[in-house]
Chain A
Amino acid sequence: MRFRRYGILLAVLLVSLLLLTVQTRGGGTGRAGELVAIAVTPVQSLLVRIHRGALGFWANYIDWKAARRENTVLRGENEQLRVMSLQAGEAREENARLRRLLALKSRLPLATLAGEVIGREAGGWVRSLTVNRGRGDGIAQQTPVIVPDGLVGRVVQVHRGAAVIQLLNDPASTVGAVVLRTRTAGLVEGDAGGTVRFKFMARDGSSVAPGDLVVTSGLGTLFPKGLPVGRVVKIEDKGSALFHFAVLAPAVDFSRVEEVLLLTGQTPQDLAALFPTDG
């Protein structure tokens, strides 16, 4: 056992010294060196290949890790930028809406109060908006509500800090109106389908045509005169019926209303000129 042990040591010593000797004899090159090279070169080549492969693998791994880290960071940044872009777009749109509202407020010859929409009801039974102005702000029932495009509706419920606005397309909504061009009088009604109709006497409305603008009539004390309500899309001729109906495209896109003006004052003036009438 002991001989075997020292035999191995002796063999290792001898082989190592032999290798060293054959390499250094005659200036380190020549046949001995070639002999070593013949034995070592294939191993070396193999190891170098493994070495390169492993190095490449390692480098790829490092690159992959770095790329993954970078990817995570960039994804985060991208997400943040998208949110910022959305916020900026939102702010820009809100700014534009508020500018239009402010311009209208300054043009109107009556007292108004701006309100922000905080709730919506569009189930069909009732179509309404809730705004953040209420009794505390001096809002009363039946207060007309407008946006720069025209009439939105009227306040039907007032709470302490909020008010519910009945939209023009609510089935229970009726507003006295006239066709701006022909001065044909009638009633604008909402219906369960969400459309807005202008009901007028057949004998007065023969000249009403698609494209005509319908505005509030100003009869009574509720709505000021000349607030745009909608534009005639088609006439429903009932033949010999007493009343005819005109289907209107509302002047206001109720689904996009975010801020409104509540008309707290009164004016006998015709406001039609203050709104866009060219379509």
Chain B
Amino acid sequence: MVRLLLLLVTIGGGVLQSTVVAVAGLGGITPDVPLILTVLIALRYGPESGCLAGFVAGLMQDATGGGLVGVQALTKGMAGFGMGLLVGRFWVSNPLVQVPGLVLLSVVEGVGRFLLLQMFHYPAAFGDLMLHVILPQALFNGFIGTLCILAEAGVELMRRRSWS
């Protein structure tokens, strides 16, 4: 049941990214919703789920985005796995760590994707890419991630109140 839910969330995130998010960007910058979901899943369910969610989400983005299929599947899968591994080792349940962590992970994922694409002679310059795509998107991810974490905390609070 949980796996099905995770799959639905992952696919939903991919659809959201290619539909609503694609339209609702700011100044041509859009958040990477599948990456945010991957991180949230990894934080909650561990490295395996994070890795698989990242892989599926990335594969979908690759498939719908028109690039090389497998690039984002690989980087997001690794990002999900890496974030999942941090659970229990660092204090990642604290939102003050989660949000900067998400921003940092977005940057790392972007750099990783660039490096991977270099193997396939990707033409864009790293500086431009960092300035115009990776960093703004990482900050946007941090903003959306904050909202998601706040929403999750709100839901959790309501659930606790209803139980007590």
Binding site for B on A (CB under 8 A): 4-5, 8-9, 12-13, 15-20, 23-24, 36, 40, 43-44, 47-48, 50-51, 54-55, 58
| Majority secondary structure, A binding face | helix
Contact residue among A5, A9, A36 (Cβ-Cβ distance under 8 Å from B78): A9
CB pair B18 A51 closer than 8 Å: yes
- Is A54 within 8 A of B77, CB to CB? no
> Does B19 have its Cβ within 8 Å of any Cβ on chain A?
yes
User: B residues near A, CB below 8 A?
Assistant: 14-15, 18-20, 22-23, 47-48, 51-52, 54-55, 60, 63-64, 68-71, 73-74, 77-78, 81, 116, 119-120
B interface: dominant SS: helix
Is the CB–CB distance between B70 and A23 below 8 Å? yes
Q: Cβ of A50 and Cβ of B15 under 8 Å apart?
A: yes
Q: Contact at B48–A58, with CB atoms within 8 Å?
A: no
Q: Are A43 and B63 in contact (CB under 8 A)?
A: yes
Contact present for A24 and B68 (CB under 8 Å): yes
How far does the alpha carbon of A233 sit from the alpha carbon of B41 in the complex, in Å? 94
Chain B: CB-nearest residue to A59: B23
15 contacts between A and B (CB under 8 A): A5-B47, A8-B52, A9-B77, A12-B73, A15-B55, A15-B73, A19-B70, A20-B68, A20-B119, A23-B69, A24-B120, A44-B64, A47-B15, A47-B60, A50-B15
Q: Given A9-B81, A12-B52, A20-B120: A54 and B70 within 8 A (CB)?
A: no
A51 and B19 form a contact (CB under 8 A): yes
**What is the CA–CA distance of A15 and B116 in the complex, to the nearest angstrom?**
15
User: How far apart sit A58 and B16, CA to CA, in the bound complex (Å)?
Assistant: 11
Q: Is B18 within 8 A of A19, CB to CB?
A: no
Residues on the A chain within 8 Å of B14, using CB = 47
